[in-house]
Structure 1
Amino acid sequence: MSLINTTIKPFKAQAYLNGKFIEVTDADVKGKWAVFFFYPADFTFVCPTELGDLADNYEQFQKLGVEIYGVSTDTHFTHKAWHDTSDTIGKVQYPLLGDPTATLSRNFEVLREDQGLADRGTFLIDPDGVVQFVEVTAEGIGRDAEELLRKIKAAQYVRAHPGEVCPAKWKEGEETLAPSLDLVGKI
């Protein structure tokens, strides 16, 4: 079953953020755009490149009103240790959620039950708490923050402009489509 257009399930998680441990719940997410960025584990190889890419682009996400939540089945203590020992992860200024019980990973259907690790899953949540975008990749395939930003801009545009849709490769400021009988067979 697809999670698209479903509401996120209630959760409560401990996170590491800017030298502090904080609690994050589903209530913290509602009312704003959010990206849940699942990755297999701290102290690994592809994961820090992805989290570093998000960190390098974090200001752009913030300008769009989007909060990033990095999530793995590690604890918030492990996130702190990784943040303190890795130059790449040391740049991260968004919450790193611990999911040692795998509640979030199960809620978002990315848990590898046999390993206790999350797949590489990216979920865009709208201000109503509804999933608007899902991407899951194999372990060896890293994701791109700039492509994620493009998709977020498209989702925000569509939300703000009912009746319009963004075609392939759409970028902010480009033409959109207004689906109608007149367009059938003409694209």
Structure 2
Amino acid sequence: MSLLNTEIKPFSATAYHQGEFVPVSEETLKGKWSVVFFYPADFTFVCPTELGDVADIYDEFTKLGVEIYSVSTDTHFTHKAWHDTSETISKLQFPMIGDPTGRISHNFDVLIEEDGLAERGTFLIDPEGKIKLVEISDGGVGRDASELLRKVKAAQYVAAHPGEVCPAKWKEGEATLSPSLDLVGKI
């Protein structure tokens, strides 16, 4: 069963954020748009390139009222150590959630149980706590933060404009579609 349009499941965790350890739960994510960005492990190869890419345009997400939460099955202590020793990871301004039990990864159906690691999963959650975007990539395939930002803008547009949808490659300010019988076979 797809997680799309389901409510996020309860969880409680600790994140490393702006030099502190902070509690995070499903309630933390509600009330605003959130991106939950799972990755396999700290101190690895593709993962820092992805997190650095998100960090480079983090301000664009916050302008849209979106908070980013990165999650791996590492502990919050490991996140701090990585943040303190990596030039790329030291740029992160968003919370890095530790999921050493794998509960959050399991809740989002990205846990690789035999390895105790998370898949590269990206989830966009609306202010009501409903999952509006699900994207899972193979471990060797890094994600693109600018494409994620485009999808966030499209999801926010659709949420604010019932009856309209965003076509492929839609960018903010471009034309949308209003599905109707008149459009069938004309696109």
Does the alignment reach a TM-score above 0.5?
A: yes
Q: How many Å separate the matches in 1 of 2:139 and 2:10?
A: 27
Corresponding residue number in structure 1 for 2:82: 82
Q: CA deviation at 1:148?
A: 0.2
Off by >2 Å, runs of 4+ in structure 1:
none
Letter of the 2:135 partner, please give it.
E
Corresponding residue number in structure 2 for 1:54: 54
Q: How many Å separate the matches in 2 of 1:151 and 1:25?
A: 24
Q: CA deviation at 1:108?
A: 0.1
Question: How high is the TM-score relative to the length of structure 2?
Answer: 0.99
Letter of the 2:60 partner, please give it.
Q
Q: How many Å separate the matches in 1 of 2:28 and 2:10?
A: 11
Q: How many Å separate the matches in 1 of 2:135 and 2:111?
A: 14
Q: Structure 1 stretches of 5 or more lacking a match?
A: none
Letter of the 2:117 partner, please give it.
L
Q: Structure 2 stretches of 5 or more lacking a match?
A: none
Q: CA deviation at 1:130?
A: 0.2
Question: How high is the TM-score relative to the length of structure 1?
Answer: 0.99
Q: CA deviation at 1:31?
A: 0.7
1:105-136 deviation digits (Å, cap 9, x = unpaired): 00000000000000000000000100000100
Question: How many aligned residue pairs are there?
Answer: 187
Question: Aligned with 1:159: secondary structure?
Answer: helix
Q: How many Å separate the matches in 2 of 1:9 and 1:27?
A: 10
Q: How many Å separate the matches in 2 of 1:25 and 1:40?
A: 20
Corresponding residue number in structure 2 for 1:158: 158
Q: CA deviation at 1:94?
A: 0.2
Corresponding residue number in structure 1 for 2:126: 126
Q: How many Å separate the matches in 1 of 2:19 and 2:68?
A: 17
Corresponding residue number in structure 2 for 1:94: 94
1:71-107 deviation digits (Å, cap 9, x = unpaired): 0000000000000000000000100000000010000
Q: How many Å separate the matches in 2 of 1:53 and 1:184?
A: 39
Q: CA deviation at 1:5?
A: 0.4
Corresponding residue number in structure 1 for 2:29: 29
Letter of the 1:123 partner, please give it.
F
1:44-80 deviation digits (Å, cap 9, x = unpaired): 0000000001111100000000000000000000000
Corresponding residue number in structure 1 for 2:19: 19
- Give identity over the alignment, percent: 72
